[in-house]
Amino acid sequence: MSKARIAVMVSGGGTNLQALIDAQNSGIITSGSVKLVISNNPDAYALERAKKAGIQTAVVSKKQCGSQDIFEEKIKEILSIKKIDIIVLAGFMSILSANFTNAYPERIINVHPSLIPSFCGKGFYGLKVHEAALKYGVKVTGATVHFVNEIPDGGKIIMQKAVEILEGDTPETLQKRVMQQAEWKILPEAVEKVCSEI
């Protein structure tokens, strides 16, 4: 049986990418295979992780492309050459236009570090999400894996997992716990689910 071909788009350390590579090695992801890692940052440590795992990489910098359109066209071109079936945004710090997301309906997945619809949308990324959750005083947060459309964090939800907020949490401790207890678990499971349905 042929597996769905996965591209992971990254900007930084690539901990979610590592979770996907590990899930593939441990048999959690069996219906898909990570074939490509694309970064908009040439210095992203995620590229090292991909190389170690023997996965092809590509760097597309918006600055070098000069515009969002050229940037997205270049990425589309690479995805097409590699015959990619599904795109996973794993800490990809560049908002994609409707022009891009509409080309891959229900084929782009993102993981967001809160229980959508809380603390999501424009401007909510990284530590900012956890800062907002603590400031608001919620007792439970978590992570959401969802399909990507033209609205930031606005696509259909695939999976969610709750994480309790503890007394004395800082944005940093909370971020770490949400990654370990939620993101790294549900992202591979959601990827497997979508790949198995393709």
Residues 6+ apart with CB under 8 A from 18: 49
Residue 10 pairs with which residues in a beta bridge?
Answer: 39
CA distance 31 to 158: 17
Half-sphere CA count of 198, side-chain side, radius 13 A: 25
Three-state DSSP class for 55?
coil
Q: Tokens standing for 152?
A: 């930031």
- 112 is annotated as an active-site residue: yes
Report the candidate in 131, 198, 186, 125 with the shortest Cα–Cα distance to residue 157. Answer: 186
Q: Residue 63 — φ and ψ, nearest 5°?
A: -60, -45
In the chain, count H helices and then E strands: 8, 7
Q: Which residue in the list 11, 100, 110, 112 is annotated as catalytic? A: 112
Catalytic residues, by residue number, are: 112
